[in-house]
């Protein structure tokens, strides 16, 4: 792909689309299938940088993953908790799910490992997860800086017991710990301290684990997920598993309808999906769009009309999507509860605010959110900061504003390699 792309303007977009498989579910299913007794088939998997680095790491550990059907079907040979290769130097790119899930998974096994990534990954915290694993019997340290990758791990299995993990930095710490816990020698009680961010992702983790045969028990303080008890030792079981289309990816197409006044249906993704990010349609509905929810598809129609005030903690991967729509409505859009997204692929508050201002908006930035006040829109060249979501979301204003240029559009390969082709096809009225 070129080092930049100018977005073609469009009239109202009308059509339907099925985005590729969920990155979040694909990487969770890969971990569960890798730990399983027996083989698994994962259908509808995502082929992207984030899943490729997970599969490459599993391969380096001796866990066979065979791809077919244009890499949308993955056959995984489970190791039953005993790694064929108990040593490895693993490269995870800038995939937060991969480094956090693998660190926990490997701690539950035995061997010596090193996990590293791109320079930005070395700035993304993992210390709370490492501390929790060490309290359960692991030896896990930051090789250069305490609490940050590269991670050096001497694994000897997890003993079980009570452990605390912070919930206010990343829900991936808790998800990684939960997937490792059933392989421990004794039951694990996880106490979550602080306000847990992105709660739907934790419910997703527990749902995937349950599909692979794990008794996930009961959570106390269901709304806060403040205490989770998991029986151990348990066995993951190999299964045939269907992965949903990616709801975060779907958000861009629903937003395209909201910006252009069109109508877009996302297929095979309904309101009861495992992914909380389908909740973006509730925000678009509050902005004035029409939303039709059916069991296996959701349609968004009509222009977004007005700004809203919303806590997006539970759907924080769609903050940039909503921000793009907020440029075209009457009145400010106020987003709360997303301070943790400053620690993602880039600072998704500060850097987002900078790019929105280029497009003509007034943006008030806060530690835990931002306020977007629409203004006269103008052409702009958008820096993406190697962040796939920055590229995908801030391409959307270009559907109505001539001269919007996206730098480094290839960064979408992290989760959606063919995003710009699919967006262009939808704009041409493809179904």
The pLDDT tens digits for 227-277 are: 999 999 999 999 999 999 999 999 999 999 999 999 999 999 999 999 999
Is there a binding annotation on residue 24? yes
Contacts of 18 (CB under 8 A, 6+ apart): 245, 266, 267, 268, 269
- Do 264 and 364 lie in a common domain? yes
- Do 9 and 64 lie in a common domain? no
Q: Per-residue pLDDT averaged across 407-415, rounded?
A: 94
Q: Considering the domain boundaries, does residue 40 fall inside one? A: yes
B/e letters for 132-143, b = 16+ CB within 10 Å, e = fewer, are bbeebbbebbbe
Is there a binding annotation on residue 28? yes
SS3 259: helix
Task: Say what the pLDDT of residue 100 is.
Answer: 96
Helix (H) or strand (E) holding 265: strand 263-267
Q: Considering the domain boundaries, does residue 222 fall inside one? A: no
- Do 9 and 56 lie in a common domain? no
Of 172, 193, 214, the position where a domain reaches its end is 214
Is there a binding annotation on residue 120? no
Task: Say what the pLDDT of residue 177 is.
Answer: 96
Helix (H) or strand (E) holding 49: helix 49-60
Predicted confidence (pLDDT) per residue in 275-316, tens digit = 999 999 999 999 999 999 999 999 999 999 999 999 999 999
Of 193, 214, 235, the position where a domain reaches its end is 214
Q: How far apart are CA 60 and CA 55, in angstroms?
A: 9
Residue 321 CA, chain-centre distance (Å), reads 14
SS3 40: strand
Q: How far apart are CA 376 and CA 127, in angstroms?
A: 44
Task: Say what the pLDDT of residue 430 is.
Answer: 42
**Confidence bin at 224 (pLDDT 50/70/90):** low
Contact yes or no for 88/115 (Cβ under 8 A): no
Of 169, 193, 214, the position where a domain reaches its end is 214
- Do 44 and 152 lie in a common domain? yes
Is there a binding annotation on residue 48? no
State what percent of residues in the chain have pLDDT above 90.
91
Task: Say what the pLDDT of residue 1 is.
Answer: 62
Is there a binding annotation on residue 16? no
**Does the annotation count 69 as an active-site position?**
no
Between strands 369-373 and 362-366, the pairing is antiparallel
Predicted confidence (pLDDT) per residue in 125-134, tens digit = 999 999 999 9
Contact yes or no for 393/399 (Cβ under 8 A): no
| Annotated active-site residue in 128, 317, 387, 422 | 317
Task: Say what the pLDDT of residue 431 is.
Answer: 38
Q: Considering the domain boundaries, does residue 277 fall inside one? A: yes
Predicted confidence (pLDDT) per residue in 314-362, tens digit = 999 999 999 999 999 999 999 999 998 898 888 999 999 999 999 999 9
Tokens of 281: 């349609």
- Do 156 and 209 lie in a common domain? yes
- Do 201 and 270 lie in a common domain? no
Q: Is pLDDT above 70 for 220?
A: no
- Do 338 and 422 lie in a common domain? yes
Predicted confidence (pLDDT) per residue in 366-378, tens digit = 999 999 999 999 9
Contacts of 389 (CB under 8 A, 6+ apart): 248, 317, 320, 321, 344, 345, 348
Contact yes or no for 387/411 (Cβ under 8 A): yes
- Do 154 and 292 lie in a common domain? no
Q: Is pLDDT above 80 for 76?
A: yes
Q: Is 235 exposed, middle or buried (0-12, 13-18, 19+ CB in 10 A)?
A: middle
Q: How far apart are CA 412 and CA 418, in angstroms?
A: 8
Q: How far apart are CA 123 and CA 300, in angstroms?
A: 37
Is there a binding annotation on residue 185? no
Q: Considering the domain boundaries, does residue 220 fall inside one? A: no
Q: How far apart are CA 65 and CA 209, in angstroms?
A: 19
Q: Per-residue pLDDT averaged across 161-175, rounded?
A: 90
Whole-number mean pLDDT of the chain?
95
Is there a binding annotation on residue 317? yes
Is there a binding annotation on residue 170? yes
Per the structure, the complete domain to which residue 68 belongs is given by 23-214
Residue 317: closest CA among 167, 166, 197? 197
Task: Say what the pLDDT of residue 219 is.
Answer: 64
Q: Considering the domain boundaries, does residue 234 fall inside one? A: no
Query: What does the angle CA 269 – CA 274 – CA 278 come to, to the nearest 5 degrees?
Result: 55
Q: Considering the domain boundaries, does residue 57 fall inside one? A: yes
Q: Considering the domain boundaries, does residue 221 fall inside one? A: no
- Do 177 and 321 lie in a common domain? no
Task: Say what the pLDDT of residue 222 is.
Answer: 53
- Do 159 and 181 lie in a common domain? yes
Query: What does the angle CA 68 – CA 72 – CA 73 come to, to the nearest 5 degrees?
Result: 55
Q: Considering the domain boundaries, does residue 219 fall inside one? A: no
Helix (H) or strand (E) holding 199: helix 199-211
Is there a binding annotation on residue 354? no
- Do 209 and 318 lie in a common domain? no
Q: Per-residue pLDDT averaged across 22-44, rounded?
A: 97
State what percent of residues in the chain have pLDDT above 70.
98
The CATH number that applies at residue 56 is 3.65.10.10
Q: How far apart are CA 68 and CA 335, in angstroms?
A: 41
Predicted confidence (pLDDT) per residue in 121-154, tens digit = 999 999 999 999 999 999 999 999 999 999 999 9
Q: Per-residue pLDDT averaged across 55-75, rounded?
A: 97
- Do 393 and 317 lie in a common domain? yes
Strand blocks (E) in 69-223: 73-77, 87-91, 110-116, 139-142, 151-156, 161-166, 188-193, 219-220
In the chain, the number of structural domains is 2
């Amino acid at each position: 792909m070129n080092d930049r792309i100018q977005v073609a303007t469009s009239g109202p977009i009308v059509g339907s689309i099925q985005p590729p498989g969920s990155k979040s579910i694909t990487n969770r299913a890969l971990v569960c299938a890798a730990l399983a007794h027996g083989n698994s088939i994962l259908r509808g998997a995502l082929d992207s940088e984030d899943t490729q680095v997970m599969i490459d790491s599993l391969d380096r550990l001796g866990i066979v993953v065979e791809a077919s059907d244009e890499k949308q079907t993955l056959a995984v040979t489970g190791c039953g908790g005993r790694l064929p290769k108990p040593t490895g130097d693993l490269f995870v790119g800038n995939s937060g799910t991969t480094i956090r899930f693998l660190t926990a998974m490997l701690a539950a096994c035995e061997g010596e490992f090193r996990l590293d990534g791109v320079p930005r990954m070395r700035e993304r915290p993992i210390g709370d997860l490492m501390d929790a694993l060490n309290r359960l019997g692991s030896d896990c340290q930051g090789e250069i800086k305490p609490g940050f990758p590269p991670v050096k791990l001497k694994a000897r299995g997890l003993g079980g017991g009570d452990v605390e993990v912070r919930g206010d930095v990343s829900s991936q710490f808790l998800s990684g710990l939960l997937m490792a816990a059933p392989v421990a020698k004794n039951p694990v009680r996880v106490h979550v301290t602080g306000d847990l961010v992105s709660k739907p992702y934790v419910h997703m983790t527990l749902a995937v684990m349950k599909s692979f045969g794990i008794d996930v028990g009961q959570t106390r303080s269901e709304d806060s997920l403040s205490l989770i008890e998991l029986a151990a030792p348990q066995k993951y079981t190999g299964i045939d598993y269907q992965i949903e289309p990616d709801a975060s990816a779907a958000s861009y197409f629903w937003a395209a309808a909201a910006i252009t006044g069109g109508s877009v249906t996302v297929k095979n993704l309904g309101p009861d999906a495992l992914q909380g990010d389908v909740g973006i349609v509730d925000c678009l509905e509050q902005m004035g769009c029409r939303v039709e929810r059916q069991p296996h598809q959701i349609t968004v129609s009509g222009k977004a009309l007005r700004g809203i005030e919303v806590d997006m903690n539970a759907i924080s991967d769609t903050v940039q999507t909503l921000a793009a729509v907020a440029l075209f409505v009457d009145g400010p859009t106020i987003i709360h509860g997303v301070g943790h997204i400053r620690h993602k692929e880039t600072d998704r508050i500060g850097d987002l605010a900078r790019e929105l201002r280029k497009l003509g908006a007034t943006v008030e930035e806060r530690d835990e959110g931002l306020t977007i006040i629409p203004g006269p829109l103008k052409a702009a060249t958008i820096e993406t900061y190697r962040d796939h979501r920055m590229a995908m979301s801030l391409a959307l204003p270009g559907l109505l504003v001539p001269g919007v240029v996206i730098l480094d559009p290839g960064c979408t390969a992290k989760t959606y390699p063919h995003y710009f082709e699919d967006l262009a096809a939808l704009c041409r009225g493809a179904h």
